[in-house]
Structure 1
């Protein structure tokens, strides 16, 4: 049973003890007074580290390198990340530049390059301007208050940074877990398009850390969709430095449930913020499917509805055209008995046992004008349940993506 978990006011990735971060503007993104585009996260102690990555067969050399280094089982000390340029589809030079970036971060922090991971995000098909990155690394100041700057440095079309942290007890010790994320467009599972970095001062056994991250990613990041497109650089990393001094959390330890729940809460919060800040979005969409024949059906149904362009357009127009929700469910490959379905829009029952329920249209339209629109479906076929997150489809999305590189 999970213990008490509390969100930390103003929490970020450097809320956990032993982590420092910093960022600078190196010139990889178009200039603005408040822009940052290059950052480093560093731990004073070695970290057991887990990761999940894009499933695309076209991927950044940074993804390839990170997977190789994690496979070696060497504790990590930090990561370097840039925004503005994805370092993807640039041939062998991309891998060479990724290696150099880890070397630059290692030299700055006094560790070996093999203890540093690298991530990039931005335009595909452009080589990294390494002269700017070499210069930029020298201007990064690392401190315990730098988490928010790092959250800003990884933004591309995001309109705001995403960061959070929680605190809880493990083995009688107060520990912290904090994270940041970026992503606004080109987001669709599996893995949802994003960078997300999570740090904890808890001691966590490596195998348990990896299995827990994979499990949590499936119910959070992999249930997020903005526009049906996936990316080449998707990376989620969790680093655990053990500075809190607790006995290492393992699959069989009494604290396993508490750590898992803490990670789930942080990832869920970041997932919701990513969906809320989808390119051009005016509404967060939440799709809850319960009573499915199994979990797979519930996930397929929820994701298909959340990613439907017709559903997304209806939410943008605050149009309670609920038939689009049922149509998406029907093509989701989930087992469905139409005569058993209940459907709710922001708590108002629209369909019960497969039959439409008369409702006051203007009242539902008013409810759909709220920043968050929730569709809940009860299938009455089993115990499977899942939640997916997305956003509406607006004219602004088309404008942003019609001129992304110009």
Structure 2
């Protein structure tokens, strides 16, 4: 397995694009004002400093497809459209906007369907073969005119080098685009998987994390693709949390066009495990990137748990540690306050003998043992400060209760998180 450039356009047969449509700018405009604004966008009057806010990913041929969505009972309209369009396990394109979530709107479903239909018309596809994603403010009507007006230009801009533009278009409070790809060999042929994602705040486990769009040129059945995606999500996006707020729109979909020429992968194929592990590695890379780019965050926080009595216990404990506000603030302040880690372990709801727990803080500077057998041990506070001042911190926890392990991804909690979310809507 090797990491390569190209994101969602690294696999054969995929193109992508991202442009500025003015979705957020039109939120408080009248229909006439929005139409005039959209006309200005068509003539190239893009505001200075504006970023892409409309993305498109398209395959040259029909694909097998699968998706996983938020478990929040309040769901964005695009999710209903995606779930309907994925019923046959097929898709060929994805359109997504930032700036407006299209959630809790009476006309949301109609507008999401209209986005899919506009792309289908331009690319000569069935409406059902187009998936939809939206992210941004909840509860504001989605201004459809700028999106529909931008679709022709968006499709014209599709390129085998357009992944970064698409990754930028789905960003909201993200500070950097997430754009990765990986290559593995199956049946003697190179098979590629690419992905883009967004997610900075309103991120919490159980597939309530972000928008993530994945592509692959592997030949794989729809059933195997769905299984591989769920396996990958379980140990990546479902082990990710920034702020314990479960979003309404989070979507992770994958398209597979079979252009790599490998023998079709089924759940019983020897190649299935290789493909699934590569997909998981890519999703973990995206999850780590999103955690590190959490709203206001300065540091990536990873909790590695080993020696747990069961997988479920390991996962509960890892999540509890990276979700703890007290742990997150200690990491922000570079304070080796290991007692907060023990506290989180104690309320995680897992089977654990707290008198056996060992804890270390780890970064590029080195390793600081702070707890053995559930009790503190002497350590160098100055070394602890240096270790925790790095931008990637691992809390290594050994439970000595069994053989299960898990890893979760989060970030520190800073003053800027409050600033960002104090006036997010306005």
Alignment of 1:83-122 (within 5 A): 83-91=98-106, 93-122=107-136
Distance 2:425 2:323 in 1: 25
Distance 2:232 2:330 in 1: 30
Distance 1:203 1:56 in 2: 32
Alignment of 1:325-364 (within 5 A): 325-346=341-362, 347-364=367-384
Corresponding position: 1:202 with 2:218 = yes
Corresponding position: 1:236 with 2:236 = no
Distance 1:306 1:11 in 2: 31
Q: By how many angstroms is 1:192 displaced?
A: 3.0
1:282 to 267, 292, 298: 298
Q: By how many angstroms is 1:383 displaced?
A: 1.3
- Residues 359 and 395 of structure 2 are in contact (CA less than 8 Å); yes or no, is this contact kept in structure 1? yes
1:17 to 12, 21, 27: 12
2:169 to 153, 163, 179: 153
Distance change (3 Å), C-alpha of 1:220 and 1:32: farther
2:236 to 220, 227, 236: 220
Distance 2:119 2:223 in 1: 27
Q: By how many angstroms is 1:49 displaced?
A: 0.6
Q: By how many angstroms is 1:29 displaced?
A: 3.2
Structure 2: which 5+ runs fail to align? 26-46
Match of 2:94 in 1: 79
Q: By how many angstroms is 1:173 displaced?
A: 1.1
Distance 2:348 2:70 in 1: 22
Corresponding residue SS for 1:85: coil
Distance 2:173 2:60 in 1: 32
Match of 1:138 in 2: 152
- Which segments of structure 1 move beyond 2 Å, counting only runs of 4 or more? 29-34
Provide Cα deviations, 1:146-205, integer angstroms capped at 9, x if missing partner: 111000000000001001001111111111111000000000012132000110001111
Match of 2:308 in 1: 292
Alignment of 1:307-318 (within 5 A): 307-318=323-334
Q: By how many angstroms is 1:72 displaced?
A: 3.0
Q: TM-score, normalised by structure 1?
A: 0.97
Q: TM-score, normalised by structure 2?
A: 0.92
Distance 1:113 1:270 in 2: 29
- Residues 208 and 248 of structure 2 are in contact (CA less than 8 Å); yes or no, is this contact kept in structure 1? no
Q: By how many angstroms is 1:88 displaced?
A: 0.3
Corresponding residue SS for 2:289: helix
1:366 to 370, 386, 389: 386
Q: By how many angstroms is 1:215 displaced?
A: 1.6
Q: By how many angstroms is 1:32 displaced?
A: 4.7
Give the superposed CA RMSD. 1.0
Distance 1:200 1:214 in 2: 15
Q: By how many angstroms is 1:216 displaced?
A: 1.4
- Residues 11 and 166 of structure 1 are in contact (CA less than 8 Å); yes or no, is this contact kept in structure 2? no
2:227 to 208, 211, 215: 211
- Residues 285 and 391 of structure 1 are in contact (CA less than 8 Å); yes or no, is this contact kept in structure 2? yes
Provide Cα deviations, 1:92-131, integer angstroms capped at 9, x if missing partner: x101001110011111111111111101000011111111
Corresponding position: 1:7 with 2:3 = yes
Matched positions, count: 399
Structure 1: which 5+ runs fail to align? none
Match of 1:273 in 2: 289
Distance 2:391 2:163 in 1: 28
